């Protein structure tokens, strides 16, 4: 079974591509969603967060106090790195467990910070989704109902899109000229072929 990473800048259309692949029958692990869930369910991780960010990190009912955590990491690269140093390994372990249960020819791990988090290692190929900055800005502003400044602030936490794409094996161009579905279908067929070759 091949393990494929799927990444791209904010608003590039990673999740959209992942949903298309799911429709084609490909199992997808959504790393960002999983990380959020693990912060609520993984006891070892919860203890690490409490030890480092205070007991206010969780409400009395055990649920994560996102505002408290966000306020701590918002203006501190060090604190954000510390948070990631707990969350990323927990997510990598969770993804490994998920991979071990899959039986499809290939599976996909979708993650915004695939390279930044060091989780690209162990993957056979990486798909990068790319779109021009102006289109990404417009799409996220519409999707999240936030101003351009907020989207730009989120983008500042990610490595440069061109650099990111250089690290990828395959590119999906999600702009307003090239159609998404034919590109994803062609890539899917290519990956099925690669998966077949890998079993020979």
- Which one among 133, 180, 192, 195 touches ligand ATP, defined by CB under 6 A? 180
How many angstroms separate the CA atoms of 1 and 171, rounded? 21
Q: In what order do the strands lie in the sheet with 170-173?
A: 28-30, 106-110, 2-8, 125-130, 170-173
Residue 14 in marked binding region = yes
Would the annotation count 11 as a binding residue? yes
Q: 41 a known binding residue?
A: no
Q: What are phi and psi of 146, to 5 degrees?
A: -125, 155
Work out which of 11, 91, 95, 126 binds ligand ATP, going by CB under 6 A: 11
Looking at beta carbons only, is 1 or 141 nearer to ligand ATP? Answer: 141
**Smaller CB distance to ligand ATP: residue 30 or 53?**
30
E strands of the chain, at which residues?
A: 2-8, 28-30, 106-110, 125-130, 170-173
Closest approach of ligand ATP to the CB of residue 143, in Å: 4
DSSP state of 55: G
Tell me the two tokens of residue 123. 């993957």
Residues 90-129 interacting with ligand ATP (rule: CB under 6 A): 112
Q: Which is nearer to ligand ATP, 7 or 42 (CB)?
A: 7
φ/ψ region of 8 (left if φ > 0, alpha if ψ in -120 to 50, else beta) reads left
Q: Which of residues 133-162 bind ligand ATP (CB under 6 A)?
A: 139-140, 143
Count of residues touching ligand ATP (by CB under 6 A)? 14
Query: Which parts are annotated binding residues for ATP?
Result: 11-16
- Contact footprint for ligand ATP (CB under 6 A): 8, 10-16, 112, 139-140, 143, 174, 180
């Amino acid at each position: 079974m091949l393990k494929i990473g799927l990444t791209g800048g904010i608003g590039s259309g990673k999740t959209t591509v992942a949903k298309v692949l799911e429709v084609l029958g490909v199992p997808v692990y959504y790393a960002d969603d999983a990380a959020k869930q693990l912060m609520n369910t993984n006891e070892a991780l919860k203890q690490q967060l409490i030890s480092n960010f205070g007991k206010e990190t969780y409400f009395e009912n055990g649920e994560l106090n996102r505002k408290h955590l966000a306020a701590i990491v918002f203006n501190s690269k060090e604190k954000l790195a510390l948070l990631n140093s707990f969350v990323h390994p927990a997510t990598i372990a969770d993804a490994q467990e998920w991979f071990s249960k899959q039986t499809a020819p290939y599976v996909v791990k979708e993650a915004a910070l695939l390279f930044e988090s060091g989780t690209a290692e162990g993957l056979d190929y990486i798909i990068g989704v790319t779109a021009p900055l102006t289109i990404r800005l417009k799409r996220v502003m519409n999707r999240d109902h936030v101003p351009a400044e907020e989207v730009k602030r989120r983008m500042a936490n990610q490595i440069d899109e061109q650099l990111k794409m250089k690290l990828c094996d395959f590119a999906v161009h999600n702009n307003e000229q090239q159609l998404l579905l034919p590109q994803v279908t062609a890539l899917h067929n290519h990956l099925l072929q690669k998966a077949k070759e890998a079993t020979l």
